Structures are given as C-alpha cells and as structure tokens.
A and B are shown apart, each in its own frame.
Chain A
Amino acid sequence: MLSSSIGYYGLILGLICSLLLTFFNLQNFRAQKILNTRILSLTFLQFLFVKISFVSLIISFVLSDFSNETVFNNSHSTKPIFYKIAGVWGNHEGSLLLWLLVLTLFTLIFLLKTKNQPLQYRILTITFQQIIIIGFFVFVIKTSNPFNYIFPIPDEGLGLNPILQDPLLAIHPPVLYLGYVGSSIIFSSALAATTLGLISKSWAIHIKKWVLASWIFLTIGILLGSIWAYYELGWGGFWFWDPVENVSLMPWLVLTTLLHCILVLQKRLILTSWVIILSISTFTLSMCGTFLVRSGILNSIHTFANDPERGLFILIFLFILIFFSIIIFFFFNKRNENNNVNFFWLSKETAILINNWFMMYFLSVVLIGTVYPIFLDVLTTNKISVGPPFYHKLIIPFLIPFLIMMGIGSRLKWIKSNLEDKAQLILALIISILIAILIVKNLDVKFLINITLISSAFYLFLITSRDFFIKKEKNNSQKIAHFGFSLLILSILVNNLFSTEIITNLKVGQQFENSNSKILFKNIIQKDEKNYKSIIGNFIIENNNGKIEEFFPELRIYNQPKIVTSEADIKTTFTTDRFMTINVVQNQEYFNIRYQSKPFMIWIWLSVILISCGGILSFLNKEYEK
C-alpha cells in the first residue's frame, strides 16, 4: 500500500521536475551565460524520483502486495523471487516505468558528459529530451499507471505468463530499452544541432559515442531475444520475421547505417542532411515499434494486452514528434550546396554510400512487410499474412552484391584509393566459388542461388579474416565487427542448409529409426516443482557413428496461470546443436517428438557477440575522444 503511494508521488514529482526544467531551460537559453546549476540538480532529482518510483514498484512485487493492480495482474506469491523482480518489467505498465527510468538516466548522463559542448546546444538537447520525457510521464500516469489500487484486496495474484519466466527474458527488455532510449538522445541532439546550425565534425565525433552505445545495446538486446526464442518457444528457430522482431530490427538497421554515415560526416563534412534524417528516424522507428507492439494492432506471439486508448496516445505523441522534427528539419537545416560532392568511385565514401543504399533497401523491405498487412486491412478489409518467404525472397538477392561490396569497400581509403591487391581479391573469389560448389553439389537444393550466396558469404569471410593479418591499418573495431558479420551470414547459411530434423509420434518404450539415428523413448518422469508440475521424457539417441546420448526434454504445467510449456533439451557443441522437444497430443497416449540437429548454431550467437565487441572496442577507443 505504502510503496504504491510513494511510487505514484515519485512519478508526479518527476513530472513537476520536467515542467520546471523546461522553464529554466528556456530562461537559461536566453541568458546565454553558464549552465544554470538548477538544471543539473533538477535533472538529477528527476532521475531520483523516477528511481524511487521504480524501486517502490519492485518492492510491491517482492512483497506480493496485491492491493496494487499491476502486481495482482502479473505476479503470484509462489513465484521465485527472481521472477517477481523480473515481473516488474515483464508487463506493460512496469516496462514503461523502466523506459522512463532509462530516459531520465540518459538525460542526466548526457548533461554530465557534454561539458565541453556549447551551452545552447546542451540546453536545447535537454529541452527536447524533456518534451519526450513529459510525453512519457503523461502516458504512464494517464493510461498505464503501475500504482493503481484494487479494492477489496485479492488474496492471490494472476501470475506471470510462464514463457516469460526466464533469466534471459528478464534482462532482454532492459537491454533493448537502453538501445531504444539511447536513440532518443541522438534524436534530440540532432534536432538541437540542426536548430543551432552546429552540425559539424566535432558534433559528429561527439554524437558517435551515443550512436555506438545505443547500437551495442540494441545488438545485444536483439541477440538475447533471439536466443530466448530459440530455446523457449520450442521449435528451434532463432528468427521468425515476427512483427515484434522486425520492430526491433528496424531501428538497428538505421543505427547501423548512421554509424557508417557519420564517419563520412566526420571526415568530409558531407551528407549532413542525410545524417539528420537518419538520427530522427532511429528514434521515430523505436517509438513506432512501441506503438505497434503496445497497441495490439499487430498479430504476433509477443503482443501485450490490447488497449486502443494507449495505442491512440502513443500514436498522437509519435506524430507530434514527427511533425515537430520535420518542421525543424525543413526550416533550420541549411544545405551547404557549395560543398564539393565529388566522389571518387573507389573510395571509402562511395562504399559507405552504397552500404547506406542497401541498408535502406533492407529497412524498406522490413518496414513494408510489417505494416503492409495493416494498411491493406484498413483500406480494403483484405487480410493477408507476410511471413518469412517474403523477406527471404526480397532480401537474399540483394544480400549477394551487398556482401561482395562489403568485402571490397571496407578496405578502401578516404577520398581516393586503388585496389593494390587485385590478384588476391580474385583468388579469394575463385576459392569461395569452389568451396560453394563443393558444399552445394551434394545437396538437393536450388543450385544457382545457393552457389552465389555461399560464395559471396565465403568471399567476405576470406577477405575479412585476411584483414587481420594486414598490420597496416589499425582499425580493429571495424575488422572485428565485419569479420563477425561475415561469420554470422556464413553460420546462418550453413545452419539453414545442413539442419536435419525428425518429427514423430512415440509411446513410452517405442523406438524410431532412420538412416541417421535411432531414438528410443525410455521412460517418463513426473515431478512437482514449486509453481509447476513437470513431465520429463527420457530418450536415448544413437547416431549412425555409434555415439549414444540421453535427452531429457520437459513439459511444464504451470499452475498460475494454467499454461503448458515445452522446455527443449539442447546439447550444444562447437559444431552442432542437438535439440529435442516433446509435446502432448490431444486424447492420445503418444507424445509428439521433435529432434533437430542444427550445425553451427552457437556460431550465430558468437558472431553477433563479435559484432558487438567491435562496437565496444570502437566505443572505448580514445582516438575519438577530443
């Protein structure tokens, strides 16, 4: 009870801070002297208030205080303490509070870290940031207050959806939010810099840190979600082109583009308008994603409870932000036409331009694929589904030239360069084509597309791994990230081509046999856990090379809410993942069994980690700190 009130007043005080801050900001902006210390202390206070409110929500969850509506809806007294805490942001209200917390934290960090920047720029950025913060405060307090009371107080909560009770999913949203919210700083900062005409090399160097930081968080956030989907949703895939996944991929694509593009701005002071547009779209797309997910307008596994009122609020807020930024962009952005925009065809800037071109294409595929069904439904009431085949068909043909150009482009120099090692490049291409033919010829798959795809992936892989042995350039972060990317593509390809699976129905004691392996369903064990019943199948699998292994896939029947989940048993090695799930079949004695062998699975995760390592290395690089 008490913690709910404290939390609620924390929110109100935080909102008051915002209003005061906006006032002082405007005052200080006109006065143009040194930073008003009240701004700093208010920003700090605001963060503190939101933090108090967040902590009091955590306390309500830990104490299972069911007088709080959010706790009642999403928690249960038998839940382990870890998931009680994770449950705080496992629901709509709590996750928005977390969003607000990160937003205020980042604003504070921005203010502390930009002491060397012009005062007006700092104040204006904070003001824009406060506008976003006010929007979220109003949203939380008006439509999704996490501190609503229920009376009479229920004895027991409704529980958290068991598939969300998972350590990875506990940290996945916070990490993703760090990425999303980081992009809000980029948004405000770009708008502030445009208004003041400050888009310059030093601005590029300064904002690049924020771009990198949000990019790293977003990459890791997406990775965590993907790993979770892999082992928890129980069918061995890791990316489903589900709208909610797409929604997190879109800001990532823009951020990646921005990351490359900002280098050009930093070196040559061109593409300024483009950088501003990208900076604006990152946050807009993050918000758009929030809208699509929260409003229930999408049909997806992850949709949160629908509430048109909430959707409407985010929608209006989103479009106010968009109009606001369009106006600022058109009225304040002065194109520096006199700039020399001659590009040598073999130069880093041309390569980055082409990279941007392709990235925007990928973005448009994902964006159109995600929102098109909504548009069609609204305009013509026809319902269609857009799934993996659509994305594959449109992305894969463009991926091939993209990979090849990535291999060449990343090694070019600024302004003008030439290919010194043509012979090696051609050799690499020949080797990759040979490897591709060797791999594909034994397989019953479409020949041409696979050959080109695999050879371009191998080509990039060869070139990027060779770059490690060239000591001339020291840009290690780029080398690692690009190498990671080539490894990612290669692992996905190998994984796709060589995955095998067995789907069959077995009773206890029965055996399944095919040319590759023997599966024996030995017995079944039942256990009672704290908040679920578990049925564990015991299987013995013998490979055709005589290797025998035991698998224990599990079914969990949760009591609150009553949901059955299937827990896969996964055996991971450096070359293959073996993956087994069981499922009950209605009214039958037998179980539905899936056994999959997925080569190079772990390399998909490792390569994404490598990519983010590249980002981290670049973030820590002192060269950019000036």
Chain B
Amino acid sequence: MKFLKYLFIIFFIMNLNNFKAESVDLSNKITKNLRCLICQGQSVYESDSDFANSLKIVVSNKIIEGLNEKEIYEFLREKYGDWILYDPELNKNTYLLWLLPVLLFLIGGAIIFKRFKITNK
C-alpha cells in the first residue's frame, strides 16, 4: 500500500531530526496559566513586563520551596483574585461556564435523535 510507504517516510524524518522531548517545565506550565495583570491579554509566560518577570521568579521560587501547582495557584489567587488564573476553577461562579457547553451538546443530541429517525434499515 502506497500510503504506508509515505507514512513511514514521514515517521522516519521525524526520528531523524531527533526531537528530543524535554520534560515539561513545571514553571512554564504554571506561568502559561497566569494572566499578566498589567498587560493586555497576555499570559505571564508570554509577557516581558516587569510584573510578569517578577512573577516568573516568584513561581520558580515557590517550586523550589516545595509548593505544588495547586498551592501556587492558590497563593496567587489569594493575592490577586480569580482574574489572574486562566483556568477558572469549578465553583458557584463558573458552574455555568463549564457545564453549559456540555449541556448544549446533550440538548443538541436529543434534538437530533428526536426530530430525525435514524434507522438501520
């Protein structure tokens, strides 16, 4: 089969270039999920403002101190509020945010199966 051959070529190229995957740096992961509060729509990771640079240092310090990801988010949330977190946690303010899309998906499915008879005959 031809397509298999192409596939192998692609796969081969991928190995050649030795994309060595480094373990994902926890600090980068965390700062990507933080909003740079003094910037316009950038994450701390992306920004080079003074605030973001300091926050990067704080995050890596906290990791060294032994705090885990959740504790760091909690620490920053206490200081700056929910606004700083890009990944809103599930609470009474965000139930609708997280559940509404899924609910709409289910409603959509229900409408489709009610209105159209999908048969196997």
CB pair A575 B7 closer than 8 Å: no
Which residues of B are found within 8 Å of A465, using beta-carbon distances? Answer: 3, 6
CB pair A498 B21 closer than 8 Å: yes
In the complex, per-residue mask of B63-103: 1 if CB is within 8 Å of any chain A CB, else 0 = 00000000000000000011111111000011011101110
Q: What are 22 residue pairs bridging A and B, where the CB atoms are less than 8 Å apart in the complex?
A: A235-B45, A237-B46, A301-B42, A303-B40, A342-B116, A357-B112, A361-B104, A368-B97, A368-B100, A380-B93, A383-B83, A384-B85, A386-B97, A387-B86, A388-B86, A390-B98, A393-B87, A444-B23, A445-B21, A466-B3, A494-B14, A575-B13
| Chain A, residue nearest B111 (CB) | A357
Q: Is A378 an interface residue (CB 8 A)?
A: no
CB pair B17 A575 closer than 8 Å: yes
Query: A330–B42 Cα gap in the complex (Å)?
Result: 43
Shortest C-beta distance, B87 to chain A (Å), equals 4
| Chain A, residue nearest B100 (CB) | A368
Interface size on B, residues (CB 8 A): 59
Which residues of B are found within 8 Å of A494, using beta-carbon distances? Answer: 14
Residues of A423-453 contacting chain B, CB below 8 A: 431, 435, 438, 442-445
Which residues of B are found within 8 Å of A386, using beta-carbon distances? Answer: 86, 88, 97
Shortest C-beta distance, B80 to chain A (Å), equals 10
Which residues of A are found within 8 Å of B105, using beta-carbon distances? Answer: 357, 360-361, 364, 398
Taking chain B's interface residues, is the majority helix, strand, or loop, or is none over half, making it mixed? mixed
Query: A380–B11 Cα gap in the complex (Å)?
Result: 52
Q: Is A27 an interface residue (CB 8 A)?
A: no
Which residues of A are found within 8 Å of B43, using beta-carbon distances? Answer: 387
Shortest C-beta distance, A392 to chain B (Å), equals 9
CB pair A343 B118 closer than 8 Å: yes
CB pair B3 A500 closer than 8 Å: no
CB pair A301 B117 closer than 8 Å: no
Q: Is A345 an interface residue (CB 8 A)?
A: yes
Q: Is A331 an interface residue (CB 8 A)?
A: no
In the complex, per-residue mask of B13-50: 1 if CB is within 8 Å of any chain A CB, else 0 = 11001111111100010001101000111110110101
| Chain B, residue nearest A347 (CB) | B118
CB pair B116 A353 closer than 8 Å: yes
| Chain B, residue nearest A394 (CB) | B101
Q: A300-B40, A357-B109, A361-B105 are in contact. Are A385 and B24 (CB under 8 A)?
A: no
Shortest C-beta distance, A131 to chain B (Å), equals 31
| Chain B, residue nearest A442 (CB) | B21
Q: Is A2 an interface residue (CB 8 A)?
A: no
Beyond the given pairs A368-B100, A389-B86, A566-B48, 4 more chain A to chain B contacts, judged by CB atoms under 8 angstroms and listed by A's residue number, are A302-B41, A341-B115, A383-B82, A503-B28
> Which of A233, A235, A350 has most B Cβ within 10 Å?
A235
Shortest C-beta distance, A206 to chain B (Å), equals 26
